[in-house]
Structure 1
Amino acid sequence: MTSLIVSESNTSEHWNNWPTEKGFDPEYEQPTPVELSVTGHIPAYAAGTLYRTGPGKSQIETENGELFKLSHWFDGLSQTHRFQIISDDDSQTRVLYNSRFSTDDMLESIRKTGSFGRPGFGQNRDPCKEAFKKVETEFEPRQSLSTSNIGVTLSVNMPGFKKPSDEEESSAERWADSKGIRNLYAKTDFNAFKKLDPETLEPIGMATQASLHPDLTGQRSAAHARSDPVTGDVFNYNLTVGPTSIYRIFHVSASTGETVILAEFPGLPSYIHSLIITEDFVVLCVWNAFLDLETLEDKNAPFMDAMIPTDPSQPATWYVVDRKQGRGLVAIYESPAFFCFHTVNAYQEVSKEDPTKIDIVADLIRMDSCEFLDLFLYENMKSTTPAAKALAEGRKDKDFSDFTRYRLPSIPESSSEPLKAVVEWSSCKGLSPELPTMNPKFVTHKYRYTYAVAIGAESTFTTGIFKFDVENHEVLKWTVHGHSPSEPIFVPNPAGVEEDDGVLLSVILDGFQDRSYLLCLDARNLNELGRAEMDGVVGFGFHGQHVPNAGLPTGDY
């Protein structure tokens, strides 16, 4: 078992995980699959399709010769990547790769006008540019197919848009024996879906949550919906932002295709990127990235400007919704203020306070403040900028994340008075974890291991992949200086018994060679098993899904 060391120096030459502009502005679109060069060994059970999505372009040369630059990583123009992992009994594993941008008209408009056309997540809209004024909406991106920048997460075989009666067999039967990719949808934190061709990755359709249920017309939702690991049912929220903002928690059945609203309640509007489920409950935490309505209505202000700085005196609120017995909202808990992008897992166990009741244990990646978002401005990520060096040298506690476990004790049958959530522990602050993953078989169950990328102080971006044992807080790391990993995807060994029996798949940027490669790590010890080398740079993306040839997709989690 080996554990490599992050860079040995904090001097300026070691900020360069991104030594060139190329890493942020790739031209590496590959419509036709190409075969990659594989070294080492990728296990046969990992055969299938790995999808990745995220920003593919941040700089566009305009017709007048100027260079248009996006300012925030979350505004990069969406690109989807597809790795076909092929394993034959009598030959080495092969990997085919293709990719495609999904915002053709937006790219062309920027080339012609030199303008983004509207405010983005962190992008200011130039008030002097009027190219898209007539098609802007107040809170959400434009909904035309090739101008909507939707590409944060991916859902494979998303139920609800097509009823089982319209298919050859029911969604439940397909879920139980998932050997085909029926559909592929890109999602974001707005109420919008973009349907992609599963093979060519061409955008072929648009939808909103109102297609699932007529009352789901609110502007915002979580890019990370949650899938039940057994049934394939999907859970998410819909938020109507207004003078009285309304949250609706809903359930999409994989067996019937029907969508039911489980609960509806008022609450402070917040930027909520993910939620959690247990076997019996949906838990929505409204953490401290509350939205200012007046700023949201400003058509020249980016969405990030609408987030009110975290007030430590104002609690985060946890809403617990029954998902099986139709009881709706059963409890509200409060905890000290915090901010979060990604939840890890949650499960139920006998209450420590009252053995006749249950507690909910919820693990997530916590930050002190939503100012953490400033780390992902391009000027703070590119090692060639003075801002990146200054930020790396002066990072404070608010600029680091950690794993935190919360406990919601003694879930009541029903309660209208806020109860207290308990912080049990926090860990890994020095590693600043993000983009967590785990064995999908253990979603909603007590588990031991999670995996994440580190965004430590040694670099302007990710420094490695690490395995975290939630029981004893031991950490195992994979790091190579100058190699920046993307989110690791856990692929379980179908014949495995132990929770960590599987592999991790991550797309790595070699910052010195200006090339990317698909890395396969043994999830037990983080030893490299194999890699597939690429001839160019894959845009550093957000999230992915792995669909095995036999078995279940990794799901939304």
Structure 2
Amino acid sequence: MDRRRFLRNLLSGATALAVAPALLRGEDAFAGDPARFAAGLREQPWLAGWKSVQSETLGPATVQLEGRLPAGFAGTLYRNGPAWTERAGFRYEHWFDGDGMVHAWRFNGDGTLRHHARMVATPKFTREQRAGRFMYPVAGTSIPDRQPIRNNDDANAANTSVTVINGRLFALCEAGSAFELDPDDLATLGPVTWRPDLAAIPFSAHPLVDRDGSSWNFGSIAMMGGNGLVVWHVGRDGTLVSADVLETPVPGYLHSFAMTDRHLVFALIPFSYREGNGAFFERLRFQPDQPLRIAVVDKGAPARARWFEADFAVIYHFGDAYERDGRLTVRAVQHLDLEQARSPMRAAMNGDAQGDAHGGKGALRELVLDLRSGKAHWEDTGVTGIEFPVFDARTPSRGAARLYAPIHADGSTAPYFSRIGAFDPARGRRQVHDYGRDVLVEEHLFVPRPGSTRPDDGWLVGTLLDAAKGRSGIAVLDARRVDDGPLAQAWLPYTAPLGFHGHFAAR
């Protein structure tokens, strides 16, 4: 079957009803208790990172910067994450379920910073606002008396990441369309249909920008009850270059992917479903007795793949990938606790301050794919206790990049990250800045210095939650001197829920 016909059939009314999107099933109500969470929050202020918002907006607030921004650093950090997690005495249990709120942290030219945030007005969110209760299925919590849906976008929470393409801002999740937002006031403009026959096909949360400015992404058809991936290629002008169907031999879960100058790399985590009617992550069980299946896709032929097998691993996020001497090496964060991987920070979502011993953190490992022999294996790097790795995308893909990631430290108040680190495992080097035992550290993005082409010449910008002082903040560090700490930082007079991913739009 040709790929256009495959997509047309997939989206036809009969097929959509037949596949009954796996992500969107759920009947029985298994939920957290808002009162229990509130009691936990009174005892442990760091749980504010998982507290539900009660307003469609936060801010605006303009605050003074401490320190001094480096010359050339200017722009806005956009971030997204689950924020609305409670309604009518019902609380989501899974962190991935909350409706998305997009934040804009704007660095002004006068030594101040302006923060404001707004809920993404998806059909799900707006209808549930009117009804005063949760009505539509989500990834990890079963909803009582759930309402029927027509497609994935009726249940799209738009809560995972953001990207900017040709000046346009998009809120992303892994199981539905991108939602476009106004980049100034964050008003929701609506779901994006890249081509009429591709409406509501998943456009995942981790697009990667190629050296020509175009973006690659994928959509998992497993989210719609079948096998396969849609491989998206969007030009730097924001128009669709291509959308190809990559057929996969088995179902597999994936949240992100990796890229070199020549190839895209997709790793399918084997899973099975338990019997019953629960939500996707309630029923999902990873299968450690099965191999990880890896597709290496030439960018010139996105509908075809060369398949590899490696030892089982659960991976949410990748670092860099590079090719040298006939080997393609991908660096990834592997989660060893399968229950934590299935529901990260589940205890925190339920107001339990003690139950997230691992806190969703993992070990940095290298997946080595031998392009000549067709064999694959894992190698350890010695780096542990991290997540959300990033790197300077200008680094040539013939060698390893320096990675930047939040780190968990023993003795922290929360079972979450409290430090930011720079890692060069090949040379045995690392730099670490400790924000303090009461500070929760989110993803820090790399921002290149304007006019420079030297890898790692730039800054890190990332968000923070100071649990002891009840405030959220942001910091800017020199990427080459991470251990020196922030060059500049700012603190808000309120807290915001912790999110997942962001995008820095330079001014």
CA contact (8 A) 2:57 2:119 kept: no
Alignment of 1:400-415 (within 5 A): 400-411=361-372
Instruction: From 415, 438, 458, give the equivalent of 1:460.
Output: 415
CA contact (8 A) 2:335 2:341 kept: no
Instruction: From 375, 389, 392, give the equivalent of 1:436.
Output: 389
The aligned residue for residue 297 of structure 2 is 321
Counterpart-to-counterpart distance in 2, 1:490 and 1:305: 35
Paired letter, 2:388: L
Paired letter, 1:463: S
User: What secondary structure sits across from 1:486 in the alignment?
Assistant: strand
Counterpart-to-counterpart distance in 1, 2:245 and 2:50: 44
CA contact (8 A) 1:188 1:223 kept: yes
The aligned residue for residue 429 of structure 2 is 474
CA 1:154–1:380 in structure 2 vs 1: closer, same or farther (change >3 Å)?
A: same
Shift of residue 402 of structure 1?
0.7
Counterpart-to-counterpart distance in 2, 1:190 and 1:410: 31
CA contact (8 A) 1:381 1:388 kept: no
Shift of residue 497 of structure 1?
6.1
CA 1:375–1:190 in structure 2 vs 1: closer, same or farther (change >3 Å)?
A: closer
User: What secondary structure sits across from 2:148 in the alignment?
Assistant: helix
Alignment of 1:226-241 (within 5 A): 226-239=208-221
Counterpart-to-counterpart distance in 2, 1:343 and 1:425: 14
CA contact (8 A) 2:438 2:466 kept: yes
The aligned residue for residue 85 of structure 1 is 107
The aligned residue for residue 532 of structure 1 is 490
Report Cα offsets for 1:91-125 as digits up to 9, x if no partner.
x5332222111248756765676642233122121
Alignment of 1:100-249 (within 5 A): 100-103=118-121, 115-126=133-144, 129-130=145-146, 133-135=147-149, 137=151, 140-142=152-154, 148-157=156-165, 181=167, 183-208=168-193, 211-212=194-195, 214=197, 216=198, 220-239=202-221, 245-249=227-231
Shift of residue 47 of structure 1?
0.2
The aligned residue for residue 241 of structure 2 is 259
The aligned residue for residue 312 of structure 2 is 337
Counterpart-to-counterpart distance in 1, 2:199 and 2:248: 15
Alignment of 1:266-305 (within 5 A): 266-288=248-270, 290-292=271-273, 298=277, 301-305=278-282
Which deviates more, 235-244 or 420-429?
A: 235-244
Structure 2 length-normalised TM:
0.81
Which deviates more, 438-447 or 32-41?
A: 438-447
Paired letter, 2:390: T
CA 1:305–1:347 in structure 2 vs 1: closer, same or farther (change >3 Å)?
A: same
- How many residues are matched? 462
CA contact (8 A) 1:118 1:124 kept: no
Structure 1 segments, 4+ long, off by >6 Å, are none
Counterpart-to-counterpart distance in 2, 1:39 and 1:369: 39
Instruction: From 377, 393, 397, give the equivalent of 1:422.
Output: 377
The aligned residue for residue 555 of structure 1 is none
Shift of residue 438 of structure 1?
1.3
Counterpart-to-counterpart distance in 1, 2:82 and 2:268: 27
The aligned residue for residue 465 of structure 2 is 509
CA 1:267–1:305 in structure 2 vs 1: closer, same or farther (change >3 Å)?
A: farther
Report Cα offsets for 1:3-35 as digits up to 9, x if no partner.
xxxxxxxxxx9xx87445476234576577442
Counterpart-to-counterpart distance in 1, 2:222 and 2:201: 6
The aligned residue for residue 372 of structure 1 is 340
Structure of greater relative contact order (alpha carbons < 8 Å, 6+ residues apart): 1
Counterpart-to-counterpart distance in 2, 1:242 and 1:545: 27
CA 1:225–1:256 in structure 2 vs 1: closer, same or farther (change >3 Å)?
A: closer
The aligned residue for residue 523 of structure 1 is 479
User: What secondary structure sits across from 2:427 in the alignment?
Assistant: coil
Unaligned runs of at least 5 residues, structure 2: 1-39
The aligned residue for residue 542 of structure 1 is 500
Instruction: From 317, 342, 354, give the equivalent of 1:389.
Output: 354
Counterpart-to-counterpart distance in 1, 2:120 and 2:500: 15
CA 1:456–1:154 in structure 2 vs 1: closer, same or farther (change >3 Å)?
A: same
Report Cα offsets for 1:155-208 as digits up to 9, x if no partner.
2016xxxxxxxxxxxxxxxxxxxxxx2x11111111311111111101111134
Q: Percent identity?
A: 21
Structure 1 length-normalised TM:
0.75
Which deviates more, 191-200 or 498-507?
A: 498-507
Shift of residue 449 of structure 1?
1.2
CA 1:247–1:494 in structure 2 vs 1: closer, same or farther (change >3 Å)?
A: same
Counterpart-to-counterpart distance in 2, 1:188 and 1:517: 24
Counterpart-to-counterpart distance in 2, 1:388 and 1:85: 34
Task: Check if 1:451 corresponds to 2:404.
Answer: yes
